[in-house]
Amino acid sequence: MARLIQILFCLTATLLLPHDVRSDVSGRVTVIDGDTFDVDGTRVRLFGIDAVESDQTCTTEQDVSWSCGVWVTSLVTDRFGNKTASCEKLDTDRYGRIVARCYIDGKDVARQLVQDGLAFAYRRYSMDYDLDEKAAAIRGEGLHGNRVQRPAAYREGRTAGSATSERACAIKGNISAKGVRIYHSPGQRDYDRTTIREEQGERWFCSKTEAEAAGWRAARR
């Protein structure tokens, strides 16, 4: 009888454990973007890395803008979509996703993505992939051959851009110290740190056409 009570107690305690304390997740992968998967229906954010957002653009050395976010998502889908992953849960983020280190065919998925230049080490949370990113940058792997904004900075700029769009138009018409009129679009390198001083003739524009018609030229990066 005592043995039965002990078994029932252990079973009850297990069932009452919070979801985040319970077991890891494994199963078939559906790729959401470069660092987020659905694993057997559970949303998983890969630990220690940060990938470009699906709507993010990058710029080549020839100043050609291209949809690098779509490209990364497509490559990651081709490589890992429908494969079976085993994920070690480390945390739960503010969006309710589990944060985990995932393995496919025995290899750390996050490390592979960083080594191939498809994601960046997210040093704010971990230094585990720092050297992998530096080596990929030296080799010019993946996105490292382009001008690309760090995903975290892009997300912050996108949020600021949304707030700006609500109060006015989002393109920033800046005047340089030499008097050159330059406009910055959301997502460009210097967009976030550009401040508009309307009292000095700087202004907001609703479109690139409007900015150019007013005498401003596009920022080169």
Structure confidence by residue, pLDDT tens digits, 169-220 = 788 889 988 889 999 988 888 888 888 887 678 888 888 888 888 888 999 8
Answer whether residue 166 shows pLDDT above 60: no
In one letter, which amino acid is 167? R
Q: How confident is the model at residue 3 (pLDDT cuts 50, 70, 90)?
A: low
What is the DSSP-derived secondary structure letter of residue 190? Answer: T
Q: What is the DSSP string of 83-144?
A: -EEEEEEEEE-TTSPEEEEEEETTEEHHHHHHHTTSSEE-TTT--TTHHHHHHHHHHT-GGG
pLDDT of residue 45: 97
In one letter, which amino acid is 166? E
Please state, in angstroms and rounded to a whole number, the distance separating the CA atoms of residues 33 and 51: 8
Structure confidence by residue, pLDDT tens digits, 39-78 = 999 999 999 999 999 888 898 888 888 999 999 999 999 9
Residues 39-63 as b/e (b if ≥16 CB within 10 A, e otherwise) read beeebbbbbbbbbbbbebbbbeeee
